[in-house]
Amino acid sequence: MTNKQKYKGLVLLGDRHAEVREFPYSEPKTGEILIQMKAAGICGSDLHFYRNTPEELGIRRAVVIGHEPSGIVEKVGPGVSIFRPGDRIAVNHTLGCNHCEYCLAGETALCSENVGIAAAGFGGDAEYALMPANTCFHLPQELSFIEGTFIACTGATVYNALRKLKPSGRDKLVVFGLGPVGLSAVLVGKALGATIFGVDVIPERLEMAKMLGVSEVINASETNPIEAVQSLTEGKGVELALETSGSPVAQSDAVDILRP
C-alpha cells in the first residue's frame, strides 16, 4: 500500500447495479486500524441492498459495502494498543454507542444507536478498509480468513442464539429455515451435541442439511412440520426450536412444536 495512492472497493448504485471504484488511501485516525482484506462474506442483507432502488439505498449508495471482512492489520492509528501490523483479524459487523449496557456487554447489535459498519463508512468489500479497532478481534492461526468471515456475522448470529437455547446431548432441536444462518445452526447445534431436525421448502437446502448431519429433514411444502416432528418424537414434540426463515407460519410452528 505504501506506494499506492488508491485502492479498489465495491459499491452499490441501486436497482441491481454494482461497480468497482477507486478510493483515496487515508491514514487510520485515532482508534482506527487499516486492514488489508483477505476475504469478505456476502450476507443476505447485502442482497437486499443490491435489489434496492437508489432512494432505498440512501446512505449506503456509492459507498463501499460489506460487513463480513477478515484480513491483516496494515497500520494502526493513534491510541490503538491491542493490534499491531501483521495481526490477523476478523470484524464484528455492528457499531454501537460504546457506553450503554448492551455495548458494554459486547452486544452492539442490541444498542439503540447501532449501525452496520458499511453504513457507518467502514465497508469491507475492498482491497483495504479503515475500521474502528474496538469492533475488531484477533483471528487465531488455526482459523482461515474465510472462516473469519463466517464468524463475523452468520456464525456469531447463530452462536448467540444457541448460547441462549443451551442445546446439549439431551435435546432435540428443530431448525426452521436452512439458508446460511439455519445451516450454521445445524453445524453449531450438532457440535453442541443436539439431535437436529431441519425444516425448509427448497430441496437443495434440505440436501445440504443432510450432508451437514441433520437427523431428519422435513419439506414444509409437502408435510406439516408439526405432524412430522410429532411422529418423530412419539407425539411429545421437541425441547428446542430455532426459527431463521422469517416466515410467520414457521414462527408460529416453532412455538407449537415444543414439548410441554
Rank residues 45 and 215 by Cβ distance to Zn ion and give the closer one.
Answer: 45
Rank residues 97 and 120 by Cβ distance to Zn ion and give the closer one.
Answer: 97
Q: Look at the chain and count its residues.
A: 260
Residue nearest to Zn ion (CB): 43
Among 76, 90, 103, 242, binds Zn ion (CB under 5 A): 103
Asked whether the CA dihedral 105, 189, 166, 196 is positive or negative, the reply is positive
Cα–Cα dist 121/136, whole Å: 15
Cα–Cα dist 60/121, whole Å: 8
> Exposed, middle or buried, 140 (CB in 10 Å: 0-12/13-18/19+)?
exposed
Long-range contacts of 204-207 (CB under 8 A, 24+ apart): 205/178, 205/179, 206/178
Rank residues 103 and 185 by Cβ distance to Zn ion and give the closer one.
Answer: 103
Residue 251: CB partners within 8 Å, gap ≥ 6?
176, 243
Counting contacts by CB under 5 A, is residue 100 touching Zn ion?
Answer: yes
Cα–Cα dist 13/52, whole Å: 9
Counting contacts by CB under 5 A, is residue 119 touching Zn ion?
Answer: no
Of 135, 141, 118, 132, give the one whose Cα is nearest residue 41.
Answer: 118
Q: Which stretch in 88-96, 189-197, 234-242, 246-254 sits in contact with Zn ion by CB under 5 A?
A: 88-96
* Beta-bridge partners for 10: 20
Residue 73 CB, shortest distance to Zn ion, in Å, is 22
- Binding to Zn ion by CB under 5 A, coded x per residue (else -) over 33-52, reads ----------x---------
- Site size toward Zn ion, by CB under 5 A: 7
Among 10, 18, 97, 156, binds Zn ion (CB under 5 A): 97
Residue 125 CB, shortest distance to Zn ion, in Å, is 12
Rank residues 186 and 220 by Cβ distance to Zn ion and give the closer one.
Answer: 186
Q: Which stretch in 75-83, 106-114, 127-135, 233-241 sits in contact with Zn ion by CB under 5 A?
A: 106-114
Rank residues 3 and 112 by Cβ distance to Zn ion and give the closer one.
Answer: 112
Among 28, 69, 71, 96, binds Zn ion (CB under 5 A): 96
Phi and psi angles of residue 124, each rounded to the nearest 5 degrees, phi first: -100, -5
What does each C-alpha distance from 230 to 61, 226, 238 come to in angstroms? 48, 6, 8
Residues 133-192 that bind Zn ion (CB under 5 A): 153
Rank residues 96 and 155 by Cβ distance to Zn ion and give the closer one.
Answer: 96
Return residues touching Zn ion (CB under 5 A): 43, 96-97, 100, 103, 111, 153
